[in-house]
Amino acid sequence: MQTFKGIAVSPGIVVGRVFVLDDQRRRIPKRLVKAEQVAVEHDRLWKSLGESIAELNGLRESTRRQLGDEAAKIFQFHIGMLSDASLTHPMHERIDREKITAEYAVYTGFEDLLRKFSKMADPSFQTKVDDIRDLSARVIKHLIGEHKGRLDTMASGVVVARDLTPSQTAGFDRRHVQAFTTDLGGRTSHTAIFARALGIPAVVGVGNITEFAIDDAPIIIDGDRGVVVVDPDQATLDEYEGFSEARQTLAISLHEFTGLPSITSDGTPIQLLGNIEIPEEITQVIKAGGEGVGLYRTEFLYLVDNIEPSEADHYEAYRRAVELSAGRPLTIRTMDLGADKATQERAENPERNPFLGLRSIRYCLQNLPMFKTQLRAILRASSLGPIKIMFPLVTNVSELRQGKYLLNDVMEDLEDEGLAFDRKVEVGMMVEVPSAAIMASTFARECAFFSIGTNDLVQYTLAVDRINERVANMYNPAHPAVLKLVRDVVRAARRYTIPVSCCGESAGDPEYALLLIGLGLRTLSATPSSIPGLKRVVRKVTVQQCERIAQKAISLDSDVAATAYLRDQARKIIPELVDGRSGER
């Protein structure tokens, strides 16, 4: 039995059989052609490019129908590459110069591009490397016939691969692909985004699982914790099969709560909202019993293409989100670029420590034309329905003031142009760093609402990179220092009568939700799949119970003691939501 720890990018537990997807590409041999054959090779190249673009157009349309416009734009990027003369012209030149076949010209042309990307130090370039491999295989397929992929022979199983291209993931048949795991990848890769949108449990960035996986061997994918077990022993297999059955049974029982109001047993309303990355996920939020969107991450618009999204691109996404929200709350976070996201991929000199560098609101304030483009689109969409605007990673008052000043500047421009927008649109901020939490009273005087982002707040308070396996055990949102910061933010918000919510991953954890309610939070925003469980928690507890739990946890002197206490209390109150695996998180 081999147990691997990776990055959980799409929740769910699957006990299945390994299906190894060999991602080694065929090496195309160099073949020379006679001079009179050169014209034919040019024609073959043009034809294969045209057929590939037509195929991509079909993929784009099917993806648009299934996942929405933003997801479909990934294939627009592919189409743009194949239409780019700077890529295809050298292929034609090589055919003329070396008298070679079209397939070898394509193969070498893409290999040259791959080498350039692979030499770049920043790991975020891996996303585009996948795209290039995908394109190369597609064009070669149209030149020399399709190399029948192993996925075509798959009946049902768990895909294990070195890596997956965006089109492979988007094209997964959910009737056959139960889950997948890869050696490479990260939370913000196209593959991870598609997995979440498709609802396929997935763990990526495992390292070297392909070295141990054998076809048809039993495998466990735990997309909740980021754990993969290859060839589990019978005891582990039985244990996880029990987990899976219990999870399914629980999901059925929780479905009964989706239509019920989110009110504690002593009558206090707790608003449950959803976190989304693409507008189409709003449907999942509502289906799960959510009351609206507490966090719309807009970075996806920048992940799908190398070209900066236009105002029209932004507007269409926000228009669609307003339409699907149908009058429900919709909070749009301005772009949180930087760190491990698309910004580093495009930077001439990637930052050594981007999490402490030019990211989020800092990046926006140094790229004003881009920032104003997004603000214009959000404001225009605000004329169609209720929208709130939220600035990310604000660390000092001047950043908040600059953001609001720019927003007012854009409002004046729209007024001059005669374009409609909501002049009273609410502007708030994420509280994600200790400086913002400590100065919450100052910030509360200058914005309409707070949203506590526990992901970064924990990371910056404890100086722990939450995706670094070497220190991951030190990342704990129940640390008393973090709890005190959350408590102080809530108190400041109440003092100045502004709403405050929590939209980090912790907000979706039923155990941690007890703490948050006890600390005074009355709005929680989580992934759509977490909402039914949260509603069950809310309807079973009293505020007084939660306050006692929070008071005790915050008085303890270590995160270990706080976590143990919280787990013990959760098992007493909501045993059906505590499956016994909490200690391994």
One-letter amino acid of 143 = L
3-state secondary structure of 52: helix
Q: Which of 90, 104, 85, 86 is nearest to 41 (CA)?
A: 104
* C-alpha distances out from residue 418 to 333, 384, 405, 570, Å: 25, 15, 20, 55
User: Whole-angstrom distance between the N-terminal and C-terminal Cα of the chain?
Assistant: 20
Tally of residues, the chain: 585
Structure tokens at 350: 């990637």
Return all residues near 178 (Cβ < 8 A) that are at least 6 apart: 14, 16, 156, 157, 158, 200, 201, 221
- Report the alpha-carbon distance of residue 430 to residue 426 in Å, rounded: 13
Q: Count CA atoms within 13 Å of residue 290 on its CB side.
A: 32
- Report the alpha-carbon distance of residue 283 to residue 324 in Å, rounded: 7
Return all residues near 456 (Cβ < 8 A) that are at least 6 apart: 393, 430, 432, 433, 504
131 and 79 Cβ atoms separated by less than 8 Å: no
278 and 304 Cβ atoms separated by less than 8 Å: no
330 and 385 Cβ atoms separated by less than 8 Å: yes
DSSP for 62-73, please give it.
HHHHHH-HHHHH
Task: Report the catalytic residues.
Answer: 190, 503
Name residue, tokens 């039993």. Answer: 218
- Report the alpha-carbon distance of residue 105 to residue 98 in Å, rounded: 9
Rg (CA), the chain: 25
- Report the alpha-carbon distance of residue 396 to residue 360 in Å, rounded: 13
DSSP for 398-449, please give it.
HHHHHHHHHHHHHHHHHHHHT----TT-EEEEEE-SHHHHHTHHHHHTT-S-
